Amino acid sequence: MSRPHGIPLPSAHRSSDPNETGSAFGDDRQGQPRPREGVRQLTGAERVRTLVESNASVSLTLPGAYDREELGTGMPAARTVTPDGDVILLVSGESAAARAAAHAQDDDLTAVIEITDVAPVSVPHRIRGRAWLAGWLTPVRGAAERAACAALLAERHPVGELLGLSESLDAPAAGRPAWVLLRLEVGEISVDDLWGAEHVDPDLLATAEPDPMVAHETELLQHLASSHGDRMGDLCGLLGTREAADLTAVPLALDRLGLRVRFIRGATAFDARFDFPEPVTDVRGLRRAMSTLFAG
């Protein structure tokens, strides 16, 4: 699928905000550690799919809008990916995005989703990554299709605004429905994160699986950081006696393949990746993998 005309994705090597510091998208001058070791990693499509299915902050913009303040959409309440690779967004029925999409044809309203992934623990350079998905935005039309997309969203996000979603999608006698489902047909994807920057084939988004640890990552990283500083300190010893001197170890990221730790000494920081013996698929496997890691 070709890139939607008129949708400039941010450069893969810089933040979309020129005034931001501590971004994951800088060079060595900004200080964000980049991977230097040849370790196993998720594919670009898997990383993007994981971000879409996560609770990371998301914004939706309409690059062709004349009045950015009026047509900027804010934050969708939830999102997910269909089996065809489209991104479904739940937005307020009163939002400017819902109003603009109501009059959109299949290819005349372009939009960009930006997802920002922030580490759930206190650490230098806290932004771990961003993904941009650009394409064409339309409402989810037809009662059957809305019901199917609502069921998919409720399955992935069974809390908060999604309770009773099917009923809230029906328009009242007068006015707009409380919630509207929008569909983004994705034409281009870029990701820039702890693993590096790359463009991702949109066709791969549908077949990529979100990482199974995404629902547990925040809780585990915060627990390790707050309650197991001694165990994290033990990981410094795996770097060698000389390298371990005066280091602080902070758990930074987790996926099915391993744990990434940021080691801090004064104003400098570097990352090390600790691979699990085998990929984990559930919490039980994760506990075994973590026990093996700290026992070593």
Instruction: Decide: 199 and 12 in contact? Cβ < 8 Å.
Output: yes
Residue 294 has pLDDT above 90, yes or no: no
pLDDT surpassing 70 at residue 56 = yes
- pLDDT band, residue 286 (cuts 50/70/90): very high
**Of 241, 246, 251, 237, which Cα lies nearest the Cα of 268?**
246
For the record, the structure tokens of 158 come out as 């069974």
Residue ranges of alpha helices (H) inside 37-171 are 44-53, 68-71, 96-102, 143-156, 165-168
CA distance 2 to 136: 12
Distance from first CA to last CA of the chain, Å, rounded?
A: 47
Where is average pLDDT lowest: 27-41, 172-186, 278-292?
Answer: 27-41
Show the CA angle centred on residue 257, arms to residues 41 and 44, nearest 5°. 30
Q: Label residue 255 exposed, middle or buried (CB < 10 Å: 0-12, 13-18, 19+).
A: buried
The whole-number average pLDDT for the span 186-205 is: 95
Q: Which tens digits make up the pLDDT trace of 80-119?
A: 999 999 999 999 888 888 888 888 776 689 999 999 999 9
* pLDDT tens-digit readout, 122-163: 999 999 999 999 999 999 988 899 889 988 988 887 655 555
| Spatial contact of 35 and 47, defined as CB atoms under 8 Å apart | no
CA distances from 18 to 62, 81, 117, 127 (A): 20, 30, 18, 14
* Chain CA centroid to CA 57, Å: 7
With H, G, I as helix, E, B as strand and everything else as coil, classify residue 236.
helix
DSSP 8-state class, residue 291: H
Spatial distance between the Cα atoms of 93 and 171, rounded to a whole number of angstroms: 9
Query: Model's pTM, two decimal places?
Result: 0.82
What is the mean predicted confidence (pLDDT) over 247-271?
A: 92
Q: Rounded distance, CA 241 to CA 54, Å?
A: 38
Q: Which amino acid is at 289?
A: A
Q: Which residue has the higher pLDDT, 133 or 74?
A: 133
Could you count the other beta carbons within 10 Å of the beta carbon of residue 11?
12
For the ranges 139-153, 159-173, 188-202, the maximum mean pLDDT occurs at 188-202
Residue 275: in which H helix or E strand, if any? Answer: strand 268-275
CB 261 within 8 A of CB 232: yes
| Sequence-distant (≥ 6) Cβ neighbours of residue 1 within 8 angstroms | 186, 187, 202, 203
pLDDT reported for residue 241:
53
Helix 283-295 and helix 229-236, axial crossing angle in degrees, nearest 10: 50
Flag the least confident range among 24-33, 178-187, 236-245, 286-295: 24-33
Instruction: Lay out the sheet containing 258-265: strands in order across.
Output: 248-255, 258-265, 268-275
pLDDT, residue 155, reads: 83
Q: Band the pLDDT of 8: cuts 50, 70, 90.
A: very low
pLDDT number for residue 199: 97
pLDDT at 159: 57
